Structure 1
Amino acid sequence: MLSLLLPSLLKKLHFDRRLVHLALAALPFTASAQAPSQKPVEGGTLTYAVSQEPTSLVSFLDTKTDNRNVSAKVTEGLLRYDAKFTPQPLLATEWQVSADGLKYSFKLRPGVKFHDGHDLTSEDVRYSVLTQKKQGPRGRITLANVERVDTPDPLTAVIVLSKPAPFLLKSLSSAELPIVPAHRYSDGEPLGNSNITAPVGTGPFVFEQWVRGSHLVLRKNPNYWRKGYPHLDRVIVKFVRDPAAISTAVETGEVDVAQGVGLADLDRLAANPKLKIDDTYDGFLNNASFLEFNLENPVLANVKVRHAIAQAIDRNFIRNTIYYKRVEVVNSPVPRVLADYYDDSTFRYPFDVAAANRLLDEAGQPKQANGQRFSLRVSYIPGAEFKRTTDYLRSALGRVGIKVEVVDGDLPTFLKRVYTTRDFDININGLGRLFDPTVGVQRIYWGDGVRNPLIWINGAHYDNPQVDELFRQAAVEVDAGKRAAQFKQVQQIVGRELPVLPLVSVPLIQVYSARVHNLNNSIDLMAGDLADTWVEPRK
């Protein structure tokens, strides 16, 4: 498991705001245990099967995991990170943080060109940062304290803050805050721009083709600034919704890498000497499954009803049966790996059907003659395990007299239902808790998401000014102890009020051919750029 936010690193980020980093060349980072003992083979095609088709090929204004994983191969960020989250050069070769923490100065790598031949300049950084601050689901939080971006020369960008942002230096990866070509967006609405679906970037691979519902093709960037990379000629990403079909495809060699295999197939695949399994914990995203209550439903607005539903659910069953014991039960929205911030003291809702029934009676929801109390519409984010969780939820809630109607659909339908039309009562969602609570956890509870709806922000429509204020304080607090206390107080409040019930962690497992080398070169694993990846020829 990757370790994040180590105390020493926290101390450094909080207190040493002088020279943070100075380097002139990016060093490759290999997240997997595989050592580069062989000389890479140049050329070839890597075929990758994934379970979900992206909605955008740039994680510019939609940081959905599937979007991130493609985007980072084409569009780069200012920095990359090693396994301990130490920043390394990418588009930026040098950076400094002022003593007061209000100015982040970046020197850009000279000679970098976008795939259409335009030079990368500080204006591209300025446009990318300010647009994501305004419209990005996470950028609105991550970049909330950004006042402006100065561009004193074409290769210098200075991000100026109104208040400190102690987490900012961890948020500048290719997948999280990509630097897009400003000239491609002009003055129009960025969400409708053609660069979203046919991206131009600076990365090791150039977008070639997207066949909706089938696959997309990336080809080698012959003018990539990192000389001698990438090794591959092409990357083909196939969209395969059926987990069993994904398992079969990697097992037969139809694809080289697979994400989204059936968890029930993993033991069999692990026994195949021609395959390898990477189940490294993604310490950047910290993905988890959550049950979100729509607090606009008057029944669910009663906290006793929410507590009852929590106790009607056996999360150990979800872990053991639905995820085949390959996940952990989650007892707080803050990841346990962020140990200084973690507090699960009020998220104690053990599985207890009798207690759930008693709480529902106390909440004024008695069973009727037919044995039912009320009905709920349950939606879920597309995915095999999320669907199975929803099916279990229907059975579990039925035992306490709650009738469940499952409403399903593809991802665009899901996003519209949860964040626009609000046509659900309970939602099973998958969310990244990320590398800092301000970036990943705040959005789950942020009251601004009620007044200014945006995808991936506050599906419950929870609105607690005290929680918002604690998050605001923590976002600018440079004292590690005070910041930890603020985050712990947030957890204690939302654990009692329970607008969202954490369920289990969500694994990101890759199964790949033993012919594939150096698959991951980023702390966020599949959101690496594949520049170091190479494939042995078939024998």
Structure 2
Amino acid sequence: MRKRLLQVSALAVALSVFVAGCGGDAKPPAASGTNAPPAAGTPVQGGEFTFALAGSPSGLDPNVVPAAVEYRVMRAIYDSLVVQLPDKSIKPWLATEWTVSPDGKSYTFKLRNDVKFHDGTPFNAAAVKYNFDRIVNPATKSKFAITLLGPYESSEVVDEFTVKVNLKSPYAAFLSSLGQAFLGIVSPAAGEKYKDQLVKNPVGTGAFKFVSWTENSAITLERNPDYKWGPLLADNKGPAYVDKLIFKIIPEEATRIGSVQSAQVSAAETVPPQNIVSLKDDPNVKLLQAEATGIPYTLMLNQTHEPWNQLNARKAVQQAINIDAIVKTLYLGTYQRAWSPLTPAMLGYNASLENTVKPDTAKANQLLEDLGWIKGADGIRVKDGKKLTLHYIDNSPNREKRHDIAAMIQQQLKQVGIQVDVETLADSTPAVMVKGTNDIYGVSNVSGDPDILRSFFHTNAIPTPEKWGHNHTRKSDPQLDQWLEEGLKEQDPAKRAEVYKKVQAYVVENAYGFPVYVFPYTVATTKAVQGLKFDSLGYPLFYDVSLKK
């Protein structure tokens, strides 16, 4: 999931309880880069804005789907109860205000009374209850929204526009999580009508309404003419400026970027490093970037497989991988190297981990020798007649040059006698989530709160054939569980930060994961585009977009 960069505020201030009305009206990140445009001019009404996606969404039901490519489309369709601003404060959106019980386990939201779903049905307290209850219903098979709801217990309709949400225990990240599109509110009527096919028939309250979806080609949305409840992230106060928002699905990098240069599309995402370098001086293209906070791209070792259940075997891999060489070679100085399983802008980021892990092939070789793995004639280590192999699973297409990372690691680990077998899959879910056949697997995720670590390192996040999960170490570690549960409940931001610093240090010191890079989410646009912004997580916002004539 995930996306990221240099000018986004590094303020990782408290995400405890912000009541509506507190704090300043911080604006979303502006563009960064050497040819960043001046402030947008007067918005122009009309036209079609086309945005080239690097991948194809699997569905558009926020209660169900888990990935970043879906998020980019869903944010235009679905609104959330609250919005998180770049300064990390929480502000009203579909909820006008809220109160929190003294024990931190109940939130009572007052809701807007003038909002309707795209199908004409009213947004109200019953709709909020429907959504949250639907997410936790096992039949829904929620993959990520259920994690964001945390220790959800129940919702009560107090009156038509007041809903009380009850938690089993305090959850410091609750309001931040509510601001994500994965907890965007779907139409209950549509949910009942389409059921599991809501993924292809999305109905929300957002600035754009779903029109059509041509598989692996395009998703078309149109302006919601009744929209007047946009978030504080936006300057717009009425309906969107463009008539249509069309997402073109163009996985091939060269085609995607060329489509912007030739003005066949208005904008394209995930500009590769070589094009970031070459486009900076292109007078016909604007580059916009944002850092998405959360989990940077991190490689995790499956500890249910030998010998990766042994600390020194994992340490050997850690010492043999040259992350600096990988990042510099593949990303040409456009990506930041990651040192922690959290990105730098996150609350509690542990800066003391920077420059602590450096490649040492001699040490890696010694660790493996001490474990009884002896190099054979072909240079690959053997123990008890078994070769030392590492099964590396990656996804297709080659997102962010991740295939190239696998190839470089294959060569680096070969130098210390580890044979890396790379398997590239269009759908890695059966192998990674269900069967766990991988030894190593790369993950990333976008989040506004360090509680995201719980989704990747807690025992409850270990995937099973019955349950989706992102703990690809598959390690049940009581110490990590204790800290992650402590951070989940702790309301004091300074104390929370210290808890998460311990988690990050533990993950790195015990070689549970190998952080690789912090992704700079980069969008290229034509000169006609104005008003394209990013939310506090680094996702693009299309509500303010207009096209100069």
Post-superposition offset of 1:219:
1.2
Query: Hey, what does 2:340 align to over in structure 1?
Result: 332
Structure 1 residues 346 and 266: CA distance shift in structure 2, 3 A: closer
Structure 1 residues 396 and 269: CA distance shift in structure 2, 3 A: same
Query: Hey, what does 2:308 align to over in structure 1?
Result: 300
The counterpart of 2:287, out of the listed 247, 266, 277, is 277
Structure 1 residues 346 and 319: CA distance shift in structure 2, 3 A: closer
Is the 1:335–1:342 Cα contact (8 Å) retained in structure 2? no
The counterpart of 1:391, out of the listed 407, 410, 428, is 407
The counterpart of 1:491, out of the listed 500, 504, 507, is 504
Amino acid at match of 1:442: R
CA distance in 1, matches of 2:354, 2:345: 18
1:53 is aligned to 2:56: yes
Post-superposition offset of 1:359:
1.2
CA RMSD of aligned residues (A): 2.5
Amino acid at match of 1:39: T
The counterpart of 1:224, out of the listed 227, 232, 237, is 227
Is the 1:251–1:269 Cα contact (8 Å) retained in structure 2? no
CA distance in 2, matches of 1:63, 1:110: 30
The counterpart of 1:367, out of the listed 347, 372, 375, is 375
Query: Hey, what does 1:21 align to over in structure 2?
Result: 20
CA distance in 1, matches of 2:391, 2:40: 54
The counterpart of 2:423, out of the listed 407, 417, 429, is 407
1:161 is aligned to 2:167: yes
Q: Number of paired residues?
A: 518
5+ residue gaps, structure 1: none
Post-superposition offset of 1:378:
1.0
Post-superposition offset of 1:55:
1.1
Post-superposition offset of 1:130:
3.1
Structure 1 residues 110 and 393: CA distance shift in structure 2, 3 A: same
1:470 is aligned to 2:483: yes
Post-superposition offset of 1:339:
5.4
The counterpart of 1:353, out of the listed 352, 361, 370, is 361
Amino acid at match of 1:445: F
The counterpart of 1:436, out of the listed 436, 445, 449, is 449
CA distance in 2, matches of 1:345, 1:269: 33
1:59-92 deviation line (CA, Å, top 9, x unaligned) = 3222311011111111111122322122232211
SS in 2 for 1:484: helix
The counterpart of 2:394, out of the listed 361, 380, 391, is 380
1:496-528 deviation line (CA, Å, top 9, x unaligned) = 322221111122111111211111152234343
Post-superposition offset of 1:407:
0.7
SS in 2 for 1:441: helix
1:448 is aligned to 2:451: no
Query: Hey, what does 1:322 align to over in structure 2?
Result: 330
CA distance in 2, matches of 1:491, 1:317: 23
Post-superposition offset of 1:54:
1.0
Is the 1:102–1:164 Cα contact (8 Å) retained in structure 2? yes
Post-superposition offset of 1:195:
1.0
Query: Hey, what does 1:256 align to over in structure 2?
Result: 266
1:177-206 deviation line (CA, Å, top 9, x unaligned) = 111122323399x6xx11112201111111
Amino acid at match of 1:531: Y
Structure 1 residues 141 and 347: CA distance shift in structure 2, 3 A: farther
CA distance in 1, matches of 2:112, 2:96: 6
Amino acid at match of 1:182: P
Post-superposition offset of 1:345:
4.5
Post-superposition offset of 1:423:
2.3
Post-superposition offset of 1:487:
2.2
The counterpart of 1:239, out of the listed 243, 246, 249, is 249
SS in 2 for 1:129: helix
Is the 1:133–1:142 Cα contact (8 Å) retained in structure 2? no
Percent identity over the alignment? 25
Superposition map of 1:103-114 within 5 A: 103-114=106-117
CA distance in 2, matches of 1:174, 1:144: 13
Post-superposition offset of 1:368:
1.4
- Give the TM-score, by structure 1 length: 0.90
Query: Hey, what does 2:234 align to over in structure 1?
Result: none
SS in 2 for 1:276: strand
1:76-131 deviation line (CA, Å, top 9, x unaligned) = 11122322122232211222223432322212211211111111121221122233
CA distance in 2, matches of 1:231, 1:345: 45
Is the 2:63–2:145 Cα contact (8 Å) retained in structure 1? no
Structure 1 residues 176 and 161: CA distance shift in structure 2, 3 A: same
Query: Hey, what does 1:461 align to over in structure 2?
Result: 474
1:259-287 deviation line (CA, Å, top 9, x unaligned) = 1222111122111112111122224xx35
Query: Hey, what does 1:147 align to over in structure 2?
Result: 153
Amino acid at match of 2:267: V
Query: Hey, what does 1:3 align to over in structure 2?
Result: 9
Between stretches 512-521 and 338-347, larger displacement belongs to: 338-347
1:516 is aligned to 2:529: yes
1:384-410 deviation line (CA, Å, top 9, x unaligned) = 411111111111111112122211122
Query: Hey, what does 1:170 align to over in structure 2?
Result: 176
Is the 2:105–2:169 Cα contact (8 Å) retained in structure 1? yes
Query: Hey, what does 1:95 align to over in structure 2?
Result: 98
CA distance in 1, matches of 2:499, 2:278: 46
CA distance in 2, matches of 1:185, 1:196: 10
1:535 is aligned to 2:547: yes
SS in 1 for 2:246: strand
Post-superposition offset of 1:140:
3.9
CA distance in 2, matches of 1:47, 1:490: 42
Query: Hey, what does 1:31 align to over in structure 2?
Result: 29
Amino acid at match of 2:279: L
Amino acid at match of 1:492: A
Superposition map of 1:102-141 within 5 A: 102-133=105-136, 136-141=142-147
Structure 1 residues 27 and 184: CA distance shift in structure 2, 3 A: farther
Is the 2:297–2:442 Cα contact (8 Å) retained in structure 1? yes
The counterpart of 1:313, out of the listed 321, 345, 364, is 321
CA distance in 2, matches of 1:144, 1:2: 27
Structure 1 residues 29 and 343: CA distance shift in structure 2, 3 A: closer
Is the 1:137–1:457 Cα contact (8 Å) retained in structure 2? no
CA distance in 2, matches of 1:222, 1:249: 29
CA distance in 1, matches of 2:367, 2:92: 55
1:209 is aligned to 2:212: yes
